Amino acid sequence: MNVRPLVLLGLAILASAAAAQDRGFQRMTTTDGTRLDYRLVAPPEKQARYPVLLALPPGSQTVGMVDWGWKNYYLNEALRRGWVVVSPIAPGGRLFVQGAEKYLPELLAEVARTYPPEGEKFHLAGVSNGGLSSFRIAILHPELFHSLAVLPGWPAPADVERLDRLEEVQVRMWAGERENPSWLGLMRQAESRLQALEADVELVVLPGEGHTLGSLFGGEALFEFLESARSTSVH
């Protein structure tokens, strides 16, 4: 019996199932009439509760930056592990650390209507400017999040004195040893402040890496942390 066609058919079915889980770009309108576009991946099966990650993009937080983060950190592991991931585009070029963060609770409420999050809270991750944005929204709304991961990122000066609001949020930070010294210093400072508060925090400095953390591409290390945070927060 020639099994090769069966194997190819099976691979095609798997590929089709994986592709069906990436829902592409969605659109919502906020209460003040702002259009907010976001990319979404979700399991096809209906569930009572889902692990849900808000992923804030780097740089200018445009569609290209959403796609860059999607490809390098989120999509493969989200599909494999059955996570919901939502990654928004900064509306009108206004970053999620420059005022557009006010729309994120509305976005999460919109997503939760279809995908209710486990423990009624979300997980949060951000890359570079997305890391700064992640600290901002977590500090503004710690009640929304189980965990915070930045790759890299640090709290903006306006947020440093409010790190006590993250005492109940699990925090992981990754940075390259060749990172800009000011960035790395601010991340070390955030770790020290959170440690003094007895928060669950760790800064991982990756040998040989710079600002772009290529050794974390694929998202396995990130999702291992997220799964750990998920298990301790839900059970």
Given this model, what pLDDT does residue 234 score? 64
Residue 226 lies in a domain: yes
Type of residue found at 68: W
Q: pLDDT over 90 for what percent of the chain?
A: 86
Residue 188 lies in a domain: yes
Classify each residue of 17-41 as buried b or exposed e, where b means 16 or more C-beta atoms within 10 Å of its C-beta: eeeebeeeeeebebeeeeebebbbb
Q: How confident is the model at residue 19 (pLDDT cuts 50, 70, 90)?
A: very low
Query: Which residues are CB-contacts of 110 (< 8 A; sequence separation ≥ 6)?
Result: 28
The tens digit of pLDDT for each residue in 63-81 reads 999 999 999 999 999 999 9
> Do 39 and 25 touch, CB atoms closer than 8 A?
yes
Distance (Å, whole) CA 174 – CA 212: 10
CB-facing half-sphere around the CA of 66: CA atoms within 13 A: 21
pLDDT higher than threshold 70 for residue 10? no
pLDDT higher than threshold 60 for residue 144? yes
Residue 147 lies in a domain: yes
Structural domains counted in the chain: 1
Q: How confident is the model at residue 235 (pLDDT cuts 50, 70, 90)?
A: low
SS3 126: strand
Q: Order across the sheet with 52-56: list the strands.
A: 22-29, 35-41, 84-88, 52-56, 122-126, 145-150, 170-176, 201-206
CATH for 201: 3.40.50.1820
Q: How confident is the model at residue 3 (pLDDT cuts 50, 70, 90)?
A: very low
Cα–chain center distance at 26? 17
Out of 25-34, 42-51, 120-129, 139-148, least confident range: 42-51
Given this model, what pLDDT does residue 17 score? 39
Type of residue found at 193: R
Q: What is the mean pLDDT of the chain?
A: 91
Classify each residue of 62-72 as buried b or exposed e, where b means 16 or more C-beta atoms within 10 Å of its C-beta: eeebbbbbbeb
Given this model, what pLDDT does residue 44 score? 87
Look up the domain containing 207 and give its range: 20-234
Mean pLDDT of 134-140: 98
Residue 92 lies in a domain: yes
Given this model, what pLDDT does residue 11 score? 36
Residue 180 lies in a domain: yes
The tens digit of pLDDT for each residue in 152-185 reads 999 999 899 999 999 999 999 999 999 999 999 9
Distance (Å, whole) CA 81 – CA 85: 11
Instruction: Decide which of 52 and 6 is more confident.
Output: 52
Distance (Å, whole) CA 152 – CA 38: 22
Residue 185 lies in a domain: yes
Q: How confident is the model at residue 23 (pLDDT cuts 50, 70, 90)?
A: confident
Given this model, what pLDDT does residue 22 score? 79
Residue 3 lies in a domain: no
Given this model, what pLDDT does residue 69 score? 96
Residue 50 lies in a domain: yes
pLDDT higher than threshold 90 for residue 14? no
Distance (Å, whole) CA 103 – CA 235: 30
Given this model, what pLDDT does residue 1 score? 42
SS3 143: helix
pLDDT higher than threshold 80 for residue 7? no
Cα–chain center distance at 194? 20
